């Protein structure tokens, strides 16, 4: 049996305004979007002074 693994493409910048932006990453396996989103959320929250990840 042959398996075909689709890897995500490079992140694409949808819009960028000042200090915020919207990026798009496609072709993820089901459930990987939540995993990636939670990791990014924890990284961003850890860089804020006085904030705690809950």
- What integer is the mean pLDDT of 11-19? 91
Question: Quick one: pLDDT at residue 16?
Answer: 93
Cα–Cα dist 37/49, whole Å: 21
| Stretch (H or E) spanning 12 | strand 12-17
Mean of the per-residue pLDDT values of the chain: 83
């Amino acid at each position: 049996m042959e398996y075909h693994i689709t890897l995500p493409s490079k992140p694409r910048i949808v819009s960028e305004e000042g200090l915020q932006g919207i990026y798009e990453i496609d072709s993820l396996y089901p459930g990987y979007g939540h995993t990636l989103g939670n990791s990014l959320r924890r990284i961003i929250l850890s860089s804020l002074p006085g904030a705690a990840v809950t």
